[in-house]
């Protein structure tokens, strides 16, 4: 028993080391100033669009793999969602993101459930104790709602179900289906931003971006979705 714990600890620490190395090399490539520069965004837009036009399948496969690794590394969902919508548009971007993030999230859940389950239960069980009974009644439905309402950082949302020991298949499909509305609207906003940048030689003003139909229509829809999720969340977390 003691040997098994040591093996788990070693593998878990090795996983964390790999993730730390990945994040270090990723974020050491660009400065914050570069990432927020309009020229940087526009130039890289041209690069990725040329790559997409010349080899869409290869870029799509690489993006899905990156989504898996990024999610497995515990990365925030917003950056890759916006990137996916910016480069691939709302329909293809949503499909690639859902597929990659669902696989990555499921792998992260499996790892967390095997190596860190006791720690996660210790940290979060009291806070989500009222959900334990609900998950036992209808695991898939409540996990689907949990994914839909969001409100929790993506990496944490991937490991919280360890508290309830949900089935891997239920986790994957609830993640796959539950994230579709949010990701589709977010990629629509990103696609709208790409259209604005395409039409502007210089950095557009914030009002020009907001009042562009490509932006404000999905933003309004996103606002409606947020209102809906607030009401659903109130019912979901109600004791």
Q: What is the pLDDT of residues 163-175, one digit of tens each?
A: 888 889 989 998 9
Say how many domains are in the chain.
1
Q: Confirm whether 10 is domain-assigned.
A: no
Q: Confirm whether 181 is domain-assigned.
A: yes
Instruction: Look up the domain containing 205 and give its range.
Output: 37-236
Q: Confirm whether 158 is domain-assigned.
A: yes
The Cα–Cα gap between 57 and 67 comes to 15
Q: Confirm whether 88 is domain-assigned.
A: yes
At 59 the three-state DSSP class reads helix
pLDDT-derived band at 113, boundaries 50, 70, 90: confident
- Residue 36 has a pLDDT of 46
- Out of 1-5, 62-66, 215-219, give the one with best mean pLDDT: 62-66
Q: Confirm whether 135 is domain-assigned.
A: yes
Residue 131 contacts residue 237 (beta carbons within 8 Å): yes
Kindly report the number of other CB atoms within 10 A of residue 6's CB atom: 9
Q: Confirm whether 194 is domain-assigned.
A: yes
Q: Confirm whether 117 is domain-assigned.
A: yes
Residue 138 contacts residue 103 (beta carbons within 8 Å): no
Residue 38 predicted with pLDDT over 60: no
16-41 mean pLDDT: 60
Residue 212 contacts residue 192 (beta carbons within 8 Å): yes
Residue 202 predicted with pLDDT over 60: no
């Amino acid at each position: 028993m003691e040997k098994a714990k040591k093996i788990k600890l070693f593998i878990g620490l090795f996983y964390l080391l790999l993730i730390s190395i990945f994040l270090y090399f990723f974020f050491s490539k660009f400065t914050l100033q570069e990432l927020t520069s309009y020229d940087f965004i526009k130039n890289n837009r041209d690069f990725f669009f040329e790559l997409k036009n010349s080899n869409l399948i290869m870029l799509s496969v690489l993006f899905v793999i990156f989504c898996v690794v990024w999610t497995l590394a515990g990365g925030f969902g917003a950056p890759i969602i916006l990137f996916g919508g910016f480069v691939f548009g709302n329909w293809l971007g949503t499909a690639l993101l859902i597929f990659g993030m669902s696989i990555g999230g499921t792998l992260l859940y499996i790892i967390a459930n095997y190596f860190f389950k006791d720690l996660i239960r210790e940290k979060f069980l009291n806070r989500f104790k009222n959900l334990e009974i609900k998950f036992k009644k209808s695991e898939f439905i409540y996990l689907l709602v949990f994914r839909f309402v969001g409100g929790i950082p993506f990496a944490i949302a991937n490991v919280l179900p360890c508290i309830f020991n949900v089935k891997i298949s239920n986790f994957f499909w609830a993640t796959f289906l539950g994230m579709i509305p949010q990701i589709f609207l977010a990629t629509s906003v990103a696609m709208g931003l790409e259209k604005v940048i395409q039409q502007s030689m210089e950095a557009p003003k914030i009002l020009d971006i907001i009042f562009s139909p490509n932006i404000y229509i999905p933003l309004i829809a996103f606002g409606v979705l947020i209102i809906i999720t607030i009401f659903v969340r109130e019912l979901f977390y109600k004791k």
